[in-house]
Amino acid sequence: LDELPVHYSLGLIEDQRLLDLNSTEIEHMSQNIIQSHLGTCQFTSDELSKMIWNAHSQEEVRSLQSKSCRMMWQLCAIHMSNAIHYVVEFAKRLDGFMELCQNDQIVLLKAGCLEVLLIRMTQAFNPANNTVLFEGKFGGIQMFRSLGCDDLLYAIFDLGRALCHLSLSDEEIALFTAAVLMSPDRPWLTESKKVQKLQDRIFVALQKEIQKRHCSEDLMTKIISKLPLMKTICNLHADKLEFFRIVHPDIAQIFPPLYKEPSI
Ligand code: CLR
């Protein structure tokens, strides 16, 4: 069973042996990725599970809603930027990432950091009442009303629910985010073959990890099936950001460098 060929929509692997890897190498790489995730995930799942029922009061939600669009964007931008710094740190700790040329490091991070953040959001999302961690406590979609981009937020919350439904372990989240980051199809990559090779190995590690817990179910297929929704969100987000930059150029200034230019 271990030797069954596996097919993915991205990074097509026809046969595990093609990759010329032994289990120790895969195990070693898994450990590096999992440690990198645990060291940079901002909140451990233990911390989050303790906070999950700590919700914003009506009062607090109303106070967020009464903020101006501008102020709310600023607040979200600060939190997102902060979270992105952790994603950058995650990437830097991944074996192979720093060996890529600087152009490719930047391309991969720019294109992938939001997707990584969205996957990381699963751990900070409570599907029982559709709330997410924001400003230290959990709250629903109505917290973000003054942003005036309900379509984007509904998409983000839908994805949060869908990803939670997969009940991924910390290890699976670590490997999944690493695989998404190492996407060889990002525009402007110069060494996409190298990235492809890294991603192929990560997918093998993810498949192995999945086999540890889920026997028959095809979790891998389900994980892959969430990628299109993530793409949609990233595109919507880039549009909003573009719009926002025109309307509020002063606030767009505080977006971190990676966030500033959604496309090179
Ligand atoms: C994701 C997991 C990270 C910690 C973290 C920090 C900021 C959070 C983010 C998580 C989830 C999504 C979030 C964000 C701040 C604002 C954003 C709650 C929990 C919401 C969805 C608003 C998005 C606004 C758009 C204009 C992008 O480890």
pLDDT at 87: 95
Q: Which residues pair with 131 in a beta bridge?
A: 126
Ligand 1 contact, 180 CB (< 6 A): no
Tell me what pLDDT residue 36 has: 98
The predicted complex's ipTM stands at: 0.98
Find the 187 Cα to ligand 1 centroid distance in Å: 25
C-beta of 85 in contact with ligand 1 (< 6 A): no
> How far is the CA of 200 from the CAs of 109, 180, 212, in angstroms?
18, 11, 19
Q: Global pTM? A: 0.87
**155-183 residue pLDDT tens:** 999 999 999 999 999 999 999 999 999 99
Ligand 1 atom with the smallest distance to the CA of 124 is 19
83 lines ligand 1 (CB under 6 A): yes
Chunked into runs of 10 residues, the chain (264 residues) has average pLDDT values of 41 49 89 98 92 96 96 91 93 97 94 93 96 97 95 94 94 96 95 96 93 76 90 86 72 57 39
Instruction: Say how many Å lie between the CA of residue 102 and the centre of ligand 1.
Output: 27
pLDDT computed for residue 6 by the predictor: 44
Please indicate whether residue 21, judged by its CB atom, sits closer than 6 Å to ligand 1: no
Q: Identify the residue whose C-alpha is closest to ligand 1 atom 10.
A: 121
Atom in ligand 1 nearest the alpha carbon of residue 132: 18
- pLDDT tens-place string over residues 14-61: 454 445 567 899 999 999 999 999 999 999 999 999 999 999 999 999
- What pLDDT shows up at residue 97? 97
Give the pLDDT of residue 10: 41
Atom of ligand 1 nearest to the CA of 152: 25
Of the candidates 74, 5, 25, 14, the one whose C-alpha atom is nearest the C-alpha of residue 202 is: 25
> CA-to-CA distance for 173 and 11, rounded, in angstroms?
18
